[in-house]
Structure 1
C-alpha cells in the first residue's frame, strides 16, 4: 500500500533548487563527506567517493587551495524504464584552504574501494623538532666568564 506524503512536492522543489534542475531528472551528488586529522608530521584527508570513475579523480593544489573532484557516470537510459533512481551521478567537488606550514609538493593521494585518501605533509620548518640544549663540560668556566 502506498502512503500519501504531503511533503514530497516540497522536497522535490527543494532538491530542484539545490541541484539547479527543477525537472528532477538530474541526479547530482549532494556532497563529498570527508574526515581530516593529523598524525605525526602529516594531515590525513579521507573522502568518500562511492562509485566514482577512478580515472576522473583529480587532486589539485593552487595558491594554497586543495581541490578534490571526481565524476560518477550515470547508467545508460537507453531501453531502460526507471522505477526509482536515487543514486547520484555527476561531479563531486570539494575545496579546502591549506594553512601555512604545508609542503604542497609532497602531497600524495590514493583511491581504493570508493575511498580517496590524501596525505598532506607538514613542511620541514613547520614540523615539531627537538631542540638540543648545549652545556659546558666545565660549569666553573661558565661561572668564571659570567663574573667579568
Structure 2
C-alpha cells in the first residue's frame, strides 16, 4: 500500500479575550517551516500546513488512516484584527494564533521561526497590541 496524499480539514477553537481573538488548531506532525498563516483584508484567516515528506520505501505501509499534512482551513473572523501584530506558536501538534483586536483589519502573511524540531513561534507583539514589535 502506498501512502495517500489527503488535504485535511482542520477543526478549530476560536475564542476571545478582552484584547485578542485566539484560534487554536491541531496540525500534528509538522515542523515550523511547514506553516503559513495569512490574514486577508476581508477578515479571513487562512491556516495552511504543507505536506511533509512521504514515508520512504523502506516501510510496508499496512494501514493509512492519517497523515502529517497537508492541512488547510479558511475561516471568517467575527471582528477586525491586526495581522501584523499577531503572535503564532506551534507546539505539541497545535498551532495557536493570537490576533490583537483592532478597529480595522491589517492583513499579513506570517511564518514561524524554528525554536526546536517541532516547536516554532512568530512574535508580533509583547502582549501590548498598540505597541507592536514587527518580526
- Structure 1 residues 63-122: Cα deviation after superposition (integer angstroms, max 9, x where no partner): 232111012424433132222222224410111223453223222211111111100111
Residues 29 and 88, structure 1, Cα contact 8 Å, conserved in 2: no
Aligned partners of 1:65 and 1:96 also within 8 Å: yes
Say yes or no: does 1:101 pair with 2:80: yes
Partner of 1:114: 93
- Alpha-carbon contact 1:46-1:116 (below 8 Å) kept: yes
Higher strand share: 2
Q: 2:61 aligns with which of 82, 85, 94?
A: 82
Gaps of 5+ in 1: 1-23, 126-148
- Does residue 43 (structure 1) correspond to residue 21 (structure 2)? The answer is yes
Q: Larger relative contact order (C-alpha < 8 A, sep ≥ 6)?
A: 2
**When you count helix as a share of all residues, which structure comes out higher?**
1
Q: For the Cα contact (< 8 Å) 1:53–1:70, is it kept in 2? A: no
Structure 1 Cα separation of the partners of residues 69 and 28 of structure 2: 12
What is the Cα-based RMSD across aligned positions, in Å? Answer: 2.5
In structure 2, the CA distance between the partners of 1:100 and 1:87, relative to structure 1 (3 Å rule), is closer
For normalisation by structure 1, the TM-score amounts to: 0.59
Deviation at 1:28, TM superposition (A): 1.5
Question: TM-score of the superposition, structure 2-length normalised?
Answer: 0.64
Aligned counterpart, 2:12: 34
Q: Which entry has the higher C-alpha Rg, 1 or 2?
A: 1
Deviation at 1:124, TM superposition (A): 5.7
Going from structure 1 to structure 2, the CA distance change for 1:103 and 1:61 (only over 3 Å counts) comes to: same
Q: Deviation of residue 34 (structure 1)?
A: 1.0
User: How many matched pairs?
Assistant: 103
> 2-side partners of 1:100 and 1:34: how far apart?
17
Q: Residues 83 and 48 (structure 1 numbering): CA distance in 2 closer, same or farther, change over 3 Å?
A: same
